[in-house]
Chains A and B, each alone.
Chain A
C-alpha cells in the first residue's frame, strides 16, 4: 500500500520535504517504523513517533490509515 507520511519538526529538514508517499507493506506501527528507516536511512539516528487519526501508535497498533504523521520530540525553549 501507498502511505502518505507527513514529517514534522526537524524531520522535514532531515528529509528535505514536508511529506511524501511511500510504498510500504507493514501491518503494524513497529514494523512500519523499521520499514520507514530502511527506506529513509537518515532517520536511523532520530527519535520519532507515528500517529494516525490523531493517535500516537504503540508498536503493535495496526496500520489502518493512508496518512501517517511522524513526530519527533522538541527540545527548544
Chain B
C-alpha cells in the first residue's frame, strides 16, 4: 500500500483549524497524531465516528468488523455505497478512509471480535470505541478493558434514543457498574427487527468521536461516570451520574477466565445470503440436513454434518476460514450457528436460503 505522506507545512495547513484553537495548538495536533484508536463495529455508529477520527488526524485507527455490507445498511452506514454490497465492512471502511486522509495508518480486522482475539487486538490501542450492535460484544469489550486498564467510549441506540458514556477512564466506573446484569436472551429483540432513524447513529457516533478526541486532547469534561441519554424526537438530553462498583470491578479483574454473557442477540447477525458470498468456492459449506434429505449438494467444499450429530462432530469443523451452515430453509442452519458459537468456533455464518436455492445458484 502506498501512503502519501504530506510534508510538515501541508500538515499544518490540513489541521490549521485545530491548531488555531488555543486549547489544541500544534501540541494537541501532535497528540492526535500519536494516538491509537480502535473502533469495534463499522456500522451505524462506527461509520460517522471513523470519518471524524480520520479527518481529525488520529495517527493510527483500527477497525474490527466481520460483517459484510448489505443494501439495508446504506440507510445509515454512510461510509459505504452500492458497490460495497457483499464486501467486508472493516476492509471497505479502511479503503474509503485512506482516500480521506492518506497521512494516517488504518488497520482492518475483518472478523468478529471474540474471546479468542479480543485481548490481543484491544491491547494494541490506547482507546476503544464500542460501536457494536449486541450485548455479547459490549460486555466482552467491557470485561477485557477492565482487565487491561483500557478506557472505552460506549455508544448505543434504540429507535429514536441513544446512550453515550466513557467507561474505565482514570479509575472511573465500567459498563457493568451501570448495568451489572446483562439482559436475558428473551429481553432482546432480534436486531433485524428494530427500526432506527438513520440519522440517530450519526449523532451518537459523532458524540463518541467527540469524547475520544476530548480524552486525547484533555479538553472539557469527559462522560466518565455519566451516561448521556439523548432522545431525538424531542431533543431531550439527560446526563445521569453513576458510581464505580469496586466489588464488581474486582470480580472481573480476578476471575480466571472471561465468559461471554449469554444474551443471544445480534452477535448472531451472521446470517448471510447467497448473493453476499463473494467466493462460494473459498468457504466451507456445511450441510446440516439429515443425510436422506434432497437435493444433495455435490461440491468439493461441502461437508455433511447433520444438526443431530453436530455437537459430537464439532471437532471436524476447522477454526480457520469462513464456514457457512445451510439446511432446507435457514432454520436449522441458525441452530447450527448457535452450537458453533457456544463452542467458540469463529467465522461461522448461516445461509438465509435453503439447499434448493443454493443448488440453483451453483448451476447458474
* B interface secondary structure, majority: mixed
Q: Evaluate contact between B240 and A75: CB separation under 8 angstroms.
A: no
Decide: A76 near B243, CB < 8 A? Known: A45-B186, A56-B227: no
Decide: A71 near B183, CB < 8 A? Known: A8-B229, A49-B178, A77-B46: no
Q: Write out the residue numbers on chain B whose beta carbons fall within 8 Å of the beta carbon of A75.
A: 133-135, 138, 156, 158, 183, 188, 191, 265-266
* A interface secondary structure, majority: loop
Q: Does B196 have its Cβ within 8 Å of any Cβ on chain A?
A: yes
Q: Evaluate contact between B163 and A74: CB separation under 8 angstroms.
A: yes
Q: Write out the residue numbers on chain B whose beta carbons fall within 8 Å of the beta carbon of A41.
A: none
Q: Evaluate contact between A76 and B194: CB separation under 8 angstroms.
A: yes
Q: Does A2 have its Cβ within 8 Å of any Cβ on chain B?
A: no
Decide: A77 near B45, CB < 8 A? Known: A47-B183, A54-B238, A55-B240: yes
- Per the bound structure, the CA–CA distance linking A46 and B238 in Å amounts to 21
Q: Write out the residue numbers on chain A whose beta carbons fall within 8 Å of the beta carbon of B227.
A: 56, 71
Q: Does B161 have its Cβ within 8 Å of any Cβ on chain A?
A: yes
- Per the bound structure, the CA–CA distance linking A47 and B175 in Å amounts to 14
Q: Evaluate contact between A76 and B133: CB separation under 8 angstroms.
A: yes
- Per the bound structure, the CA–CA distance linking A36 and B260 in Å amounts to 29
- Per the bound structure, the CA–CA distance linking A8 and B238 in Å amounts to 11
Decide: A73 near B179, CB < 8 A? Known: A10-B189, A54-B238, A55-B241: yes
B182 CB to closest chain A CB, in angstroms? Answer: 7
Q: Does A69 have its Cβ within 8 Å of any Cβ on chain B?
A: yes
Q: Evaluate contact between A73 and B241: CB separation under 8 angstroms.
A: no
Find the B residue at minimum CB distance from A58: B243
Q: Evaluate contact between B181 and A47: CB separation under 8 angstroms.
A: yes
Q: Evaluate contact between A74 and B161: CB separation under 8 angstroms.
A: yes
Binary per-residue interface labels of chain A (48-68) against chain B in the complex, 1 for a CB within 8 Å, 0 otherwise: 010100111010000000000
Q: Does B131 have its Cβ within 8 Å of any Cβ on chain A?
A: yes
- Per the bound structure, the CA–CA distance linking A46 and B187 in Å amounts to 6
Closest A-B pairs by Cβ, 8 of them: A74-B156, A76-B157, A77-B133, A56-B242, A74-B158, A47-B183, A9-B158, A73-B179
Residues of B within 8 A of A (CB): 41, 43-46, 131-135, 138, 155-159, 161-163, 178-179, 181-184, 186-189, 191, 194, 196, 201, 227, 229, 231, 238-243, 265-266
Other contacts beyond A56-B178, A71-B227, A75-B135: 9, CB < 8 A: A10-B159, A47-B181, A47-B187, A54-B238, A55-B240, A56-B240, A69-B240, A74-B162, A77-B43
